[in-house]
Structure 1
Amino acid sequence: MTPKMTRWTLALVAGLMLTGLAQAQTKKELIAKVIQLQQPSVENVARSIAAQTAQQILEATGPAVAQQPADKREAVAKDVQAEVKKFYGDIESVLRDRAVKLAPTAMAPVLEEKFSEDELKQLVAWLESPTAKKFNESAPVLLETMQQKLVADTRGTVEPKIRTLEGTLRKKLGLPAAAPASPAASAAKPAKK
């Protein structure tokens, strides 16, 4: 090889290496942008976990509240709800802050593996588009509407299964059978639409 050809070869190799590094950096920047644009979704995951945890605690305390003397039951229930609401406020912010910090380490490897640089560019363009923003803003309403319709549509099928499961679990746990709903309690329930 001639010295001229060697310099040219070295320059070409160096250029290719720099191009590779620039592309890798570009891909990393695109991944960081996708994660940043997904921050509201990441925060919603944390909120959902906090809400589910608080709901589970409320459900677990329900039997204990029901066993309180009738004259104290409402006050105890309100106290329990206030404590669980306070707990939710505490853990929601902790989970949300932690989720935002963990998102890059949790999401970046998956984005790196599953998406090319071009796909990441398209994804960023979509996430930044007015249509995507409008869709993301509408998503909670869409999901809530779907959830309400699903619950209403399946209530007649699911509620008897829940009652059967409750009865089976009561027997297995040696608990007394649930008292049948009184006519006054049934009348107090809102009419199904």
Structure 2
Amino acid sequence: MMMNHRTRLAALVLAGFALTGAAQAQSSQAKKDLIARVIQLQQPSIEQIGQNIAGQTAQQVLQVAGQAVSQLPADKQEAVGKSVQADIKQFYDELAPLLRDRATKLAPTAMGSLLDEKMSEDELKQLVAWLESPAAKKFNEVGPQMLNNLQEKLVADTKPTVEPKLRALEDSLRKKLGINGAAAPAPAASGAAKPAAKAPVKK
């Protein structure tokens, strides 16, 4: 039996929906592949995030421990200080790979969902092309050096202003807490404000 006009039209519409759905599914997979590629190309930066957090955490512990060591008798400070530094270095050496690994595992969800939401497939193609270009690779190599250079210059430039404020705050806190003795070097003078990548607990 031949189909009437309405039946043929309905069949064509359904076929069109089926083809559109298949195309969307294919595009969705292609987009997922592009997102995965973007995240893969960002792997060094992702690992650096975990390492920076580990370095910053260890540096904070080192600062607190250093202040405590400075309150010890002079003849014990060196030995205890070395022991404390060794313990904190071990802490960092265990924490850094853990955070790097967790950052890598969390990246597809934390970053991938935003890339999927905010960027189209065409934009992702352009992004991948840029990230794979020699210019982008060179920029990624220079980027951390630029930031470190800016941070070092910022610390040096603001040291005359910041250091007296830190010392005044430290003296005030010592008086309130009833702690005697000379103030320990302020963080800005000791280099505590340097990038985490240069923390003394690292190899």
Tell me the TM-score normalised to structure 2 length. Answer: 0.82
3-state SS of the aligned residue for 1:57? helix
Q: Does the CA contact (< 8 Å) of 1:167 and 1:177 recur in 2?
A: no
Q: CA deviation at 1:6?
A: 3.1
Q: CA deviation at 1:45?
A: 0.4
Q: Does the CA contact (< 8 Å) of 2:71 and 2:181 recur in 1?
A: no
Q: CA deviation at 1:112?
A: 1.5
Q: 2:72 aligns with which of 63, 68, 74?
A: 68
**Within 5 Å, which residues of 2 pair with 1:92-171?**
92-171=96-175
Task: Using the aligned pairs only, state the percent identity.
Answer: 58
Q: 1:7 aligns with which of 11, 25, 31?
A: 11
Equivalent in the alignment of 1:90: 94
Say if 2:149 is the partner of 1:175.
no
Choose between structure 1 and 2: higher helix proportion. Answer: 1
Structure 1 window deviating more from structure 2 (141-150 vs 159-168): it is: 159-168
Letter in structure 1 aligned against 2:35: I
Q: Does the CA contact (< 8 Å) of 2:50 and 2:96 recur in 1?
A: yes
Q: Distance in 2 between matches of 1:105 and 1:144?
A: 29
Say if 2:56 is the partner of 1:52.
yes
Q: Distance in 2 between matches of 1:166 and 1:179?
A: 7
Structure 1 window deviating more from structure 2 (6-15 vs 92-101): it is: 6-15
Q: Distance in 2 between matches of 1:36 and 1:29?
A: 10
Q: Does the CA contact (< 8 Å) of 2:167 and 2:183 recur in 1?
A: no
The unaligned stretches of length 5 or more in structure 1 are 182-188
Q: CA deviation at 1:180?
A: 9.9
Per-residue Cα deviation, 1:60-105 (whole angstroms, up to 9, x for no partner): 1112222333223212211111111111010101111111011111
Distance change >3 Å, CA 37–CA 180, structure 1 → 2: closer
Tell me the TM-score normalised to structure 1 length. Answer: 0.86
Equivalent in the alignment of 1:34: 38
Distance change >3 Å, CA 36–CA 180, structure 1 → 2: closer
The unaligned stretches of length 5 or more in structure 2 are 191-203
Distance change >3 Å, CA 70–CA 92, structure 1 → 2: same
Q: Distance in 1 between matches of 2:119 and 2:178?
A: 54
Ranked by relative contact order (alpha carbons within 8 Å, sequence separation 6 or more), the top structure is 2
Q: Distance in 2 between matches of 1:62 and 1:118?
A: 53
Say if 2:29 is the partner of 1:25.
yes
What number of residue pairs does the alignment pair up?
A: 182
Equivalent in the alignment of 1:184: none
Letter in structure 2 aligned against 1:44: Q
